[in-house]
Amino acid sequence: MNKGKDKGEYSFSTCWNIKKHRDGRAMIEEIMGLGFGSVELNYNVTREHLDTIEPMIDSGEVRVSSVHHAFPFIGDTDFDTDSVMLGYEDEARRGRAVELLKQSIEYADRYGAGAVVVHPGEVPFTDNIDSQLKQIYRVKGRESKEYLALWREMSERRERLSPQFLERIRHSLEEVSEFVARKGYRVAIGIETRARCYQIPTLQEAGSLIKSLKGSPVGLWYDIGHAMMMDRMGLYDNLRDLREVSPYIVGVHIHETIGLSDHWCPYVHSQDDVYFDHFLGVIRQAPIKVYELKAQCLPEDIERSHTLITQKTALLEG
C-alpha cells in the first residue's frame, strides 16, 4: 500500500484529510499511502470514523501516536478547540471539560497512544480580536498605529485576567493528573501552544503550569507553526522562550507558518531553506513527532518536506 518512503518514528495528523472522508479506514489508508505507519487522531474524528479505524488499530495495521482533545468529536461549541475549556469559572462547565479530557485520555490509553494534545483554554473576548489583529497585520503591518492600539487593548485584558484562568486550568489539570495516576495510565497530557493571541498558554505560561504540577503527566505540546505565528504577532519571543521550556516537551506538531497562515510544509511552501532549522533540535528530541498539515499540502510536497527535515536532522546529529 505504501507509496511514500517509510517515515519511521514520524506520525501524521488526520486533520490533513478528514474533511474528504466519511469512512475512517479510507482516511487512514490514504495517510499510510504517504509512508506513515503512525497517526494522530484529531478532534474531528467521529465515533463513526472509529468504527472502521479501531479494527486497524487492534490488528496492528496502524499505530496511534496521540489523540487530540476533545476526542472523539462532540459538536459542542462550549468545549470545542477554541473555548475556555479547562478554565471555566462556572463549575459545571469546568467539570464537564475535565470529564471530556478524562475520556480523551481513556481513548489514548486504549489505542496505545503516548499523549493527548490539549487546548487548555483562553481569556475570552466578546469579539474575535485575534482575527481583527491579523487582518490589520496583513494590510497595514505590526508597527502600524492601528495594530499597536488594538494589541495594547488585547494585551491589557489578557494580562489582567489570565491569572484567574490559569489557576482554574491548573486545578483542572491537577484533577486529571490524579485520575491518570489512579488508573495507572502511561499517557502524557500535552498542553499545546496556540494559534490565537488571547489563548492559553504562552510558552512562559506553559512552563509555569508544568512546574507547578511537577511529577504529573503534564508537559508541553510544542506546535511549531503556532509558536512562529505568535512570535510574529508579538505575544512572546519564540526562540528565546523555547530554550527555557524545551525540557518539558512531550510532543511536537510539525508545520510552518507563512506570514500568519499556518499548517504548510516546512521549507517547501515558504521557500526559506534556513529559518525552520531553528526547530530541528526540538523535533529531534521530541518523544512524539507529528506532521499537522492542511489539505492543500500535496503528497509530493509532504515527501519533499520530510526528506529535507530528515536530511538536515541527520547532519545535525552527525
**Lookup: cell for 190:** 500535552
pLDDT tens per residue across span 18-56: 999 999 999 999 999 999 999 999 999 999 999 999 999
Reported as a pLDDT band with limits 50, 70 and 90, residue 317 is: confident
Query: C-alpha grid cell for residue 243?
Result: 530554550
- Average pLDDT value for residue range 87-115: 98
pLDDT at 2 over 70: no
Determine the pLDDT at residue 282: 97
Which of 239, 305, 248 minimizes the C-alpha distance to 273?
Answer: 305
Identify the band that residue 1 occupies on the pLDDT scale cut at 50, 70 and 90. very low
**Residues above pLDDT 70, as percent of the chain:** 99
Q: What are the tens digits of pLDDT across the range 177-208?
A: 999 999 999 999 999 999 999 999 999 999 99
Cα–Cα distance measured from residue 256 to residue 261, given in angstroms and rounded to the nearest whole number? 8
Helix (H) or strand (E) holding 11: strand 10-13
Q: Tell me the mean pLDDT in the region 124-153.
A: 98
283: pLDDT strictly greater than 80: yes
Residue 64 has a pLDDT of 98
pLDDT band (50, 70, 90) for residue 3:
low
- Mean pLDDT of the chain, nearest integer: 97
Residue 216's CB is within 10 A of a number of other CB atoms, namely 18
Question: Facing residues of 256 across strands?
Answer: 264
Strand partners, 219: 190
Domains of the chain: 10-123+163-317 (3.20.20.150)
Average pLDDT for residues 133-142, to the nearest whole number? 98
Is residue 49 within 8 Å of residue 72, measured between CB atoms? Answer: yes
pTM of the model: 0.97
